[in-house]
Amino acid sequence: MEITRRRFIVTTALAGGGLLAGYTLLREPDRLATPPAWSAAGAGIALNAWLRIAADDTVTVAIPRAEMGQGVQTGLAALVAEELDVDWAQIRVEPAPLEPVYANIAIVLEGLPFADDDERTRARIARVLARRTGAWLAIQVTGGSTSMRDAWHPLRAAGASARALLVAAAARRWDIAAAACTTRSGSVRERDGGRAARYGVLVEAAARLTPPASIVLKPRAQHHLIGTRLPRLDTAAKVTGAAVFGVDVRLPGLLHAALRLAPTFGGSVRAFAAAAVLTEPGVHAVVGIPGGVAVVADHWWQARRAADRLEIDFDAGPHTGLDTAALTARIDTAIDRGPADVYEDLGDAAAVLDAASGRIGARYAVPLLAHACMEPMNATARIADGRCEIWVPSQAPSLVRRVAAQAAGIDEEAVTVHTPFLGGGFGRRAETDTVAQVVAIARATGGRPVQMLWSREQDLRHDVYRPAAACRFEATLDAAGRPQAWWHRIACPSVTQSFMQRLWPIGASARKANPNVEGAVQLPYAIPNRRVEHVNVTSPVPVGFWRSVGHSFNAFFTECFIDELAHAAGADPYSYRRALLGNRPRHRRVIDLLADRSDWSRPPPAGRGRGMALHESFGSIVGQVAEVSVDAGRVRVHRVVCVIDCGVVVTPDIVVAQMQSGIVFGLAAALDGVITLRAGAVEQGNFDDYPVLAPADCPRVETYVIAGGDEPGGVGEPGTPPIAPAVANALFALTGTRIRTLPIRL
């Protein structure tokens, strides 16, 4: 049985007429319909699900995606402001309530096993079904670099629809045709320069009108906000300290909880002796929670000290023999002998390889990685009068509500979820482990709110990790050095299976899904015979979505191996790639600009080497060149040139910032990132043994953005995958040593 996060919708819908007929009855709900919770949320009158206008002309935009530093509040608000025709100073933002109208449909589309430019009938049918199913599932989630892609149509439509209503209200007031009106800077004006009325004056009348049946969006030439530099809406609050992250939530009567968690994978609590710590000053309760014990006190430090002294009898569980060497051996065995799922099979790679007089082969490997968000895991909850109110810095508030309801034993409608700012997400905060824990604690506090905060050590040792992965390549070249066959076999635990086991145990058999091979299939290079396989590796280590997911390791594998083929062919790495991109004009534009801006044709400074990588992910194409040196065995990256084609560019500054962020994140992992295991537990515990990139070690990053296309691509994740292969290829150019294992060790 293969239940996949990314394919189950299409495969089940196409499996038989009955299911297909059922799905055709589903319709995406009107994404402009106004939920009552939004209408009553604050000042102003709602003209649809996405915006309210107040009497003072301020416009409040509903933001259904989590702000975790990626600039989503600014980017989404810009779409509404553009079509509504208001000045940027008029814009305010609020978190959207949990309502089906705010579902992230693009994340379902992202999971389809088809390229963005695939217009075959089955691909188009799959997209229709995915849109309808995404609306039906109604999951509010931030991830997959989908926020802007999901919002591109509905939020612009929301602004345009509201603008049409305001124009109609003004036209009625003046007894003229709507066509005789125009809009500018938050007001409706007569085209002949006569009367004008502010939106705040017109909004009450506009709200009584029927929204237009058809919506006309601005042509790109008329955009005055999209594609321009805009002040970020979250900057002032973060600079002044007014921003509320999860750890900043403060409520009357708030208690604090610290944890002791079972140190080993699969470990549990047999018993604990609470009596001794319950007499300590400030301690209110000792509570058993999933995977451990919590101490509740007036202050967190009181709770932490008491938890450290708590006598707990832990059952280490069945995995105390697991260490890094054992996991590595398990993956290596899977590569060589494990049963594989085939994800791509073009031509006949096996036959071409068998007939070839020579083959080029290589093995690559990457380790477990932690997310290491700057804000440790935390959650705050209050349970009283049959209701649960919860504050969680989460990427998936709809999942938070479901898990909280289950843990509290109440209906989902009795759960209210608040999403403060996230101090880093990277996929870690799509998980719900902290939700079950804090609700269990809150049930024991007599109605008082309680904030649970993990320590840094707990954060690193109880993560859901980027899986360790390895692969084998075999390829053969023709007389001109062009690859004729490409066989790629990947082995790693399935992120989808691990996630499903935690959230939906019914999907415990899920293993085959795109995260395992994304970035390894549908490569842009013209290779006529291609086969990509994945071997699922069972492991007790929980794995999850880590920034760019499978792209994070498959880009390293594929872009390093393509570099090996270029070297075997005696070709320049840039020229070799370009020749294989003959029918990919977007990729060629990226790599050509990259070569130009990185001075590829000129020798690097003395003692330095340059390396290149090109990778497509989340609807965007990113090329990077890294310039590196080696000093006493330590790699130093001096300069990174980055070119991105992300389609329509909504906020250029945010695109640049996200490329810088992704590069630093990926570079830290490439140079130092590794989680090791001993006796069934994680060894690393803080930033002294799991370092992030220090400011002094950050390279100069130059980013060039190619704007084009009709739709935006993602930018939160695509900057991460190319940096590790670019650095590894640069080190080969400098030293002649191939880096096939991360983190980089010379």
**What is the sign of the dihedral through the CA atoms of 296, 461, 680 and 492?**
positive
Q: Kindly tell me if the per-residue pLDDT of 17 is higher than 60.
A: no
**Residue 376 near residue 456 (C-beta atoms within 8 A):** yes
Instruction: Give every CB contact of residue 554 below 8 A, 6+ residues apart in sequence.
Output: 490, 517, 518, 519, 520, 721
Q: Do domains 36-104+142-239 and 324-368+465-735 have the same CATH topology?
A: yes
Q: What is the CATH number of domain 36-104+142-239?
A: 3.30.365.10
Q: Kindly tell me if the per-residue pLDDT of 363 is higher than 60.
A: yes
Structure confidence by residue, pLDDT tens digits, 173-210: 999 999 999 999 999 999 987 899 999 999 999 999 99
Mean pLDDT across the chain, nearest whole number? 93
Q: Kindly tell me if the per-residue pLDDT of 691 is higher than 60.
A: yes
Q: What is the CATH number of domain 324-368+465-735?
A: 3.30.365.10
Distances (CA, A) of 707 to 18, 146, 154, 302, 328: 44, 18, 21, 54, 43
Find the Cα–Cα–Cα–Cα dihedral 453, 454, 459, 465, rounded to 10°.
-70
CA distance 675 to 410: 38
For the chain, what is the radius of gyration of the CA atoms?
A: 27
CA distance 303 to 282: 8
Q: Is 264 helix (H, G, I), strand (E, B) or coil?
A: coil
Q: Kindly tell me if the per-residue pLDDT of 1 is higher than 60.
A: no
Neighbours of 118 (CB within 10 A): 14
CA distance 578 to 588: 6
**Residue 594 near residue 610 (C-beta atoms within 8 A):** no
CA distance 663 to 124: 34
Peptide bond into 100 cis (omega under 30): no
6-430-232 Cα angle (round to 5): 110
Q: Does domain 246-317+377-453 have CATH number 3.40.228.10?
A: no
Q: Kindly tell me if the per-residue pLDDT of 699 is higher than 70.
A: yes
Q: Output the pLDDT for position 370.
A: 98
CA distance 215 to 192: 24
CA distance 677 to 684: 9
Question: Sorting pLDDT into bands at 50, 70 and 90, what band is 458?
Answer: very high
708-712-718 Cα angle (round to 5): 100
**Residue 495 near residue 513 (C-beta atoms within 8 A):** yes
Q: Is 643 helix (H, G, I), strand (E, B) or coil?
A: strand
* Cross-strand bridge partners of residue 52: 46, 60
CA distance 169 to 159: 15
Packed helices 652-672 and 551-568: angle between N→C axes, nearest 10 degrees:
80
Instruction: Give every CB contact of residue 350 below 8 A, 6+ residues apart in sequence.
Output: 487, 531
Average pLDDT over residues 360-376: 98
Q: Kindly tell me if the per-residue pLDDT of 396 is higher than 90.
A: yes
**Residue 445 near residue 239 (C-beta atoms within 8 A):** no
Structure confidence by residue, pLDDT tens digits, 227-264: 999 999 999 999 999 999 999 999 999 999 999 999 99
Q: Kindly tell me if the per-residue pLDDT of 509 is higher than 70.
A: no
Average pLDDT over residues 294-320: 97
Q: Output the pLDDT for position 124.
A: 84
Distances (CA, A) of 516 to 126, 575, 670: 21, 30, 19
Q: Output the pLDDT for position 506.
A: 65
Q: Output the pLDDT for position 113.
A: 67
Structure confidence by residue, pLDDT tens digits, 459-476: 999 999 999 999 999 999
Determine whether 571 is exposed, middle or buried from the number of CB atoms within 10 Å of its CB (0-12, 13-18, 19+).
middle
Residue showing tokens 């399935």:
494
CA distance 660 to 639: 12
Average pLDDT over residues 349-362: 96
Highest-pLDDT range among 125-139, 211-225, 654-668: 654-668
CA distance 398 to 725: 36
What are the extents of the domains in the chain? 8-29+105-137, 36-104+142-239, 246-317+377-453, 324-368+465-735
Question: Sorting pLDDT into bands at 50, 70 and 90, what band is 599?
Answer: very high
Q: Kindly tell me if the per-residue pLDDT of 20 is higher than 60.
A: no
- Per DSSP (E only), the strands in 38-89 are 45-48, 51-53, 59-63
Q: Kindly tell me if the per-residue pLDDT of 114 is higher than 90.
A: no
